[in-house]
Structure 1
């Protein structure tokens, strides 16, 4: 399955590694985690949820722009969509172009289709804001790593990197300085899918969203373009 939300690329991105899973990367090659935010510098984690075309990406982008205007700090956009020169997915290319066109030119860009925790460790700063769009595609990339296929019925066994990268993300989030905004789809409101792999994906994204929401300072659910406060107050 392909989740119904597109991350985007902008000018000339910094591409995070997309090959070795966490268990195969040497300790020397992995970025060192940041220390917790220094006193007086608020660490913020916001989760923005919503269905397809709910307005969640636009809302998250506005949050990042507001943070930059208030603090003067940089914004780094971490795109999880796979994007290459040989891409034949015209629909995805159009989605990427739309995201690129509406983002401020001064925002930094990092492509991290697999190793999201590494990208966060590397680019989080005390005065900055990181916007990850989106967790949905990132989980899809991990599940279908190396064009992995699954049976229509029966148990689903994802690649080892699936669990390793999720664990790495959940470990990273409490340590990151600055403001981190995560965008993810809420896809559990519909009917139960018939195929085993689709059911597995819906279940795993739902479980991950719960864990991200528990770690977040604020959770906003977008419904028809209107943000609904689920957890936490807006910053003063």
Structure 2
């Protein structure tokens, strides 16, 4: 059975957040959620890292897993994609989006953080959460869950962990389904 240009897929809510630790299987789970859709825009927020062979290998593995009909966009400019009409989005990942956002507002530097960086980051995060709330597209977003691990030794590391926790909570609050992937096993937190 088809609906419009897409195959009807039971149990695929409009908005899903897939959380997990490093190498937990969260990206595979997110891809599985959309595998029945013939047209998906895979939004890679990690960018390219010139000369980093390990990063290139990770990217290649991700690309090889995806159906050939899926397109890829490498960008951290998520709000326009969420507010536009189009095929389902798979956003991988919000932690890398946050890293880019923190870079752009100078959030790693204590002085810049205190003098406008915190406000600028809060505004960017609020805009992203609002776009997730308003989107008419099917969206599966992936993010790292870092709040249960080791407390970072640096102020900037703790700032990233705290802001990612806030971002994950904000996005999760707008999603019909939230999953936690642990050791390759998806546990439903909501939906």
Q: TM-score range by the shorter chain?
A: 0.7 to 0.9
Matches within 5 A, 1:21-170: 44-66=14-36, 68=37, 74-83=39-48, 87-113=50-76, 115-122=77-84, 124-125=85-86, 128-145=87-104, 150=109, 156-157=113-114, 158=117, 161-170=120-129
8 Å CA contact 2:16–2:176 kept in 1: the answer is: yes
* CA distance in 2 between partners of 1:82 and 1:184 (Å): 16
* Alpha-carbon separation, structure 1, partners of 2:95 and 2:16: 16
Alpha-carbon shift at residue 98 of structure 1 (Å): 1.2
Is the contact between residue 134 and residue 183 of structure 1 (CA under 8 Å) also seen in structure 2?
Answer: yes
Q: TM-score scaled to structure 2, two decimals?
A: 0.84
Query: What are structure 1's unaligned runs of at least 5 residues?
Result: 1-41
The 2-side partners of 1:45 and 1:213 are apart by 9
Give the 3-state SS of the residue equivalent to 2:68 in structure 1: coil
How many residues in Structure 1 have an aligned counterpart in Structure 2? 178
Judge conservation of contact 1:75–1:108 (CA < 8 Å) in 2.
yes
CA distance in 2, matches of 1:109, 1:50: 22
Secondary structure of the equivalent of 1:144? helix
8 Å CA contact 2:40, 2:71 repeated in 1: yes
Whether the 8 Å CA contact 2:102–2:108 is kept in 1: the answer is no
Give the aligned CA root-mean-square deviation in angstroms.
2.3
Contact 2:82 / 2:137 at 8 angstroms: preserved in 1?
Answer: no
Partner of 2:5: none
Structure with more helix by fraction: 2
**What whole-Å deviation, never above 9, does each CA across 1:84-109 have from its counterpart, x for those lacking one?**
7xx12222111111111111111021
* Partners of 2:13 and 2:177 within 8 A in 1: no
1:197 to 156, 159, 163: 156
Instruction: Tell me the SS of whatever aligns to 2:15.
Output: strand
Task: Encode CA deviations 1:122-170: one digit per residue, 9 max, x unaligned.
Answer: 3x43xx311000001010111122887525xx89443765333212211
Question: Structure 1 51/149 Cα, relative in aligned 2: closer, same or farther at 3 Å?
Answer: closer
SS, match of residue 90 in structure 2: strand
5+ long unaligned stretches in structure 2: 1-11
**Residues 20-46 of structure 1: CA deviation (Å, up to 9, x unaligned):** xxxxxxxxxxxxxxxxxxxxxx97100
